[in-house]
Homo-oligomer: A and B are copies of this chain.
Amino acid sequence: MKIAILGYGVVGSGAYEVAQAAHNIEVKRVLYKRPIDELGDIVTTEYEDILKDEEIELVAECIGGLHPAYEYVSAALKSGKHVVTPNKNLVAAYWDELHDLAREHGAEFRYTASAGGGIPWLFNLQRQSRSDDILSISGIVNGTCNYILDTMHNEPVDFAEILAKAQELGYAEKDPTADIGGFDTQRKCVISANLAFGTSISEEDVPVFGIQNITAGDIKYFNEHGYTCKLLMNAGQTETGAYAYVEPTLVSRGALESSVPANNNLISLTGNHIGTLSFYGQGAGKYPTGTSVIQDVLDIENGWKFSDKSEKNDVSVDNRLEAHRYYIRENGSCKITGPLSVTEAHRLASESSDEHFFMAGIRE
């Protein structure tokens, strides 16, 4: 199969290299703003060269961001080309539209790398849901936050200090808001929940509380009480509706999540028949993410389709359905609450006058 890769940054160049090792894939074109010596004349600055090339059956969008990624991906699907992308922003924001376009034009649209990076999480979530009702999903999907929290648990270091170190190591962006504010995790939660429950919730449905206010003092308290703090996405179905939220979560020291080091990810599903399955690996990086992109390409090349259940589940999110205890620190004093609904806890957070307010859900 002849494919084109859009972008040649970390993921695009990783996907290019991994593709060289896979049989049956030829990267015919790479879209990039300037020549790339080692790639020679396959590089083009003109997307039209790719779109009009009928030999190119698949476009791997590795540019990131919403625009022009959205325009490129839409145009590819409209011309019947399959699309693979690791772009969580794009997939979360245009879920219905891009899936509809793919369906209308007989193209495949895959995005395994958009949540979990190198981990075949979304692929296995879809595969599992063929024979199982997915009851809930949960996990660590942001390596930057995990690196920061893991380090803070292991050495007495302030949040600001370890964030700076993460930026220095390239684990955190210059503007770290999307990571530490939980918005990256929120998008991955939207995508995972949509696949798990066959629905289309949006970012606005998923309340987020990030880790930017956590202190060495909070961590000391957690360590002393046998808890590890992780930023988790959570979503599930109950008999009366669904819940979906992102918040720092205290897990017991013996939990699998507690043993996830550095910038790795661990993501779980619980199914009616299968019980809990967890998937661990590198959630980002050139070769891991590039590998997931190429695995999606190979699935399409091999004709591996998920049957299209056209009827969509009309699941609406109601976070009053999920309640648990919280650790809350406000105006310098901390407490463990009784069971609070997610709606109520996130309301407390947003209405607090303490700009240093911090909370973490407690997993029982």
Contact = CB atoms under 8 A, between A and B. Distances in A.
Interface of A: 17-19, 21-24, 118-120, 123-124, 127-128, 130-133, 254-256, 258-261, 268, 271-282, 285, 287-288, 290-291, 294-295, 298, 302-305, 307
B256 A280 contact: yes
Contacts of A23: 130, 307
Contacts of A272: 21
A113 to B, nearest CB: 11
A330 to B, nearest CB: 32
A22 B271 CA distance: 14
Contact of A118 (B127, B274, B290, B298): B274
A21 B259 contact: no
Count identical subunits in the complex. 2
Given A254-B261, A259-B254, A259-B258, A22 B131 contact: yes
Nearest to A257: B259
Nearest to A305: B302
A135 to B, nearest CB: 13
A287 B270 CA distance: 13
5 contacts: A18-B273, A24-B307, A259-B259, A273-B291, A278-B278
A21 B131 contact: yes
A291 B128 CA distance: 9
B291 A281 contact: no
Contacts of A278: 278-281
Nearest to A293: B131
A153 to B, nearest CB: 10
A272 B123 CA distance: 20
